[in-house]
Amino acid sequence: MPDLLHSAAFMIAGCIAGAMNAIAGGGTLVTFPTLIFAGLPSIAANATSTIALLPATLSSAFSYRHAARSVSRWLRVFAPVSLIGGLAGGILLVRTPSHVFDTLVPFLILFATVLFMLNSSLNRFFGARLAAMHGADPPRSWVVGAAVFQLAVAVYGGYFGAGIGILMLASLGLLGFEDVHAMNALKVRLGFLINIVAALYFIANGLVDWPSAAIMALGTVVGGYGGAQFAQKIPQARVRLLITLIGLVISAVMFYKQFS
């Protein structure tokens, strides 16, 4: 059972992560390093972080329940590859030697941070592609390519997870999606499938620190609710800058810790 100091840190990290996900994404960049700094092994920290963020993901999926009706066709296309890829990523994580994953951690966090930082540029690029398509159905080759890309995203999501929302939005943009609510509805559902199948595999392998996960999960629910309430009142550019800075600082600390 975490002591009082660690419990407070997990609750605060969960609140921050929940608010970040509600406003702009990137919550894993807080929950995962917090668990690492608290002394959990990196693989157990990753598994515990995945479990802790599930309630917030589920609540996000519920909040987009009306918009989800328009993407049921695409959910049928991408759900199977998301489940397969999420499980494959979870298996890959469990079978990765701890020292190898420890070495990869700084690079994974930096990769996720760079993805987050480039999100606006990617959105502008894919917005231009959307305008060029004029709402036409995507070619079959694009659908197949997007499914393959989604499989790769799901493997990465099951293995680590930070930044998968950005990658999925990029893929959906290429398919011609114009309704941001529909994109988010599909994204959060696919993200939940990726995370839940990986989480079940982590649970089956006894990797989850349940007391830590429970405290952090409570924080994500509180933070997610508060973040949703204030999302429209906070300048998005400043929030994104803050999250990017947090990711870069954590990356630097992890690089120093691993390679110094």
pLDDT in tens, 63-117: 777 767 777 888 888 999 999 999 999 999 999 898 888 888 888 888 877 877 7
Residue 184 has pLDDT above 80, yes or no: no
Residue 136 pLDDT greater than 70, yes or no? no
Gap between the Cα atoms of 68 and 64, Å rounded: 6
Q: What is the pLDDT of residues 41-61, one digit of tens each?
A: 999 999 999 999 988 777 777
- How do the domains of the chain map onto residue ranges? 4-259
In order of 66, 169, 178, 253, 256, the CA distances from 181 in angstroms are 9, 11, 9, 36, 40
pLDDT interval class at 253 (50, 70, 90): confident
pLDDT band for position 134 (cuts 50, 70, 90): very low
Longest Cα–Cα distance of the chain, Å, equals: 57
DSSP annotation of 1 reads -
pLDDT score, position 227? 67
Q: Which of 5-9, 28-32, 138-142, 213-217 is least confident?
A: 138-142
Mean pLDDT of the 221-244 span: 70
Contact 108, 45 (CB under 8 A): no
Contact 197, 54 (CB under 8 A): no
Residue 225 C-alpha from the chain's centroid: 18
Q: Which two tokens stand for residue 60?
A: 């996000």
Asked if 243 and 39 count as a contact pair (C-beta separation under 8 A), the reply is: no
pTM, rounded to two decimals: 0.78
String of DSSP letters for 177-234: ---HHHHHHHHHHHHHHHHHHHHHHHHHTT---HHHHHHHHHHHHHHHHHHHHHTTTS
Top pLDDT among 255 and 254 is at: 255
pLDDT for the residue 31: 93
Mean pLDDT for all residues in the chain: 81
In SS3 terms, 22-63 reads as: HHCCCCHHHHHHHHHHCCCCHHHHHHHHHHHHHHHHHHHHHH
